[in-house]
Amino acid sequence: MTATASDVPAALHFRFFTLEVLRTRRLGHSFLRVTFGGESLADFRSGGYDQSLSLFLPPAHLEHTELPSTDEDTWFGAWRGMPDEDRPVMRSYTVREQRRTDAGVDEVDIDFVLHGDTSPASRWAGKAVTGRRIMAIGPAVAENKSVRFQPPAGTDAFLMYADETALPAAAAILERLDAGAKVKAWFEVPHADDRLDLRTPADADITWIVRDPGTGGRERAERVVEEIRAAELPAAEVPYGWLAGEAGTIRAVRRHLVQERSVDRRAVRFTGYWRLGASEEQLLAEAYAGQAASEDPTSEL
């Protein structure tokens, strides 16, 4: 019988894994899929949907990730205490897919957004080659708190917004929805050829929003909200909203759905994957200091 979150102490929901690059594949202008393997993946248990994990990517002068500790009580302090030039960069990503091949090999796909050498993750992914090893903190039980897509019983329509950073999570969600489920989705991407062919058994109406180059944060959010405001939503008694991407934009979208479309705020899950003007190091520090913006659907707008 598969262990569930209620069977396993919360501290054991996640553990360290060693991931080895098996291959890479370009999906579009901005997206690169990296497929990882490794013996430790036999114990990896993705909950699907928007399952996240934390990757530790080596600095440019190192081929593989090296961590001084993987003990649950000491790893964070040991990692933070490493010299800046040797400390692996920690980044959160979505498990796009987990599978076991016919040959008995465990594989995990992770889709990266490429934008040159402007970020450590993009720089690493763009140069990833077979055999490179990184480390990750990932799920050891399928039911874990890093799966945020949690529609209530009776949900009869899904409203989705994602930018390019959240598109892999949105794609994984769409693949798992029931046949015929009603979905209205808006996906924002930087280039026209980032409009991917997404598979889903659901009855999904997808609007692609191709971002104007050089658009500022406010203008960007306003355009997204205008696209949503102009759309007819599927008829539903119990709609569920899932919004992920840049923090300011998803707050604007959530405000529209709650205030103008009368969607119950408790039924809108919003997750800021990043924030204009802030590095992930800043966001990580805020989270550990208890200063991060609430993702609780009941929180104030």
- The C-alpha atoms of residue 123 and residue 113 are separated, in whole angstroms, by 10
Domain spans of the chain, in order of start: 10-139, 157-288
Identify the architecture of domain 157-288 in CATH.
3-Layer(aba) Sandwich (3.40)
Q: How many CA within 13 A on the CB side of residue 50? A: 24
Q: Judging by DSSP bridges, how do beta strands 239-246 and 268-274 pair with one another?
A: parallel
> Cβ distance 109 to 97 under 8 Å?
yes
Identify the architecture of domain 10-139 in CATH.
Beta Barrel (2.40)
Which segments of the chain have a pLDDT < 50?
1-6, 293-294, 296-301
Closest CA to 137 of 97, 59, 79, 61: 79
pLDDT of residue 262: 96
pLDDT of residue 2: 36
pLDDT of residue 300: 40
pLDDT of residue 277: 59
- The C-alpha atoms of residue 24 and residue 33 are separated, in whole angstroms, by 6
> Cβ distance 125 to 26 under 8 Å?
no
The neighbour count for residue 44, using CB atoms within 10 Å, is 22
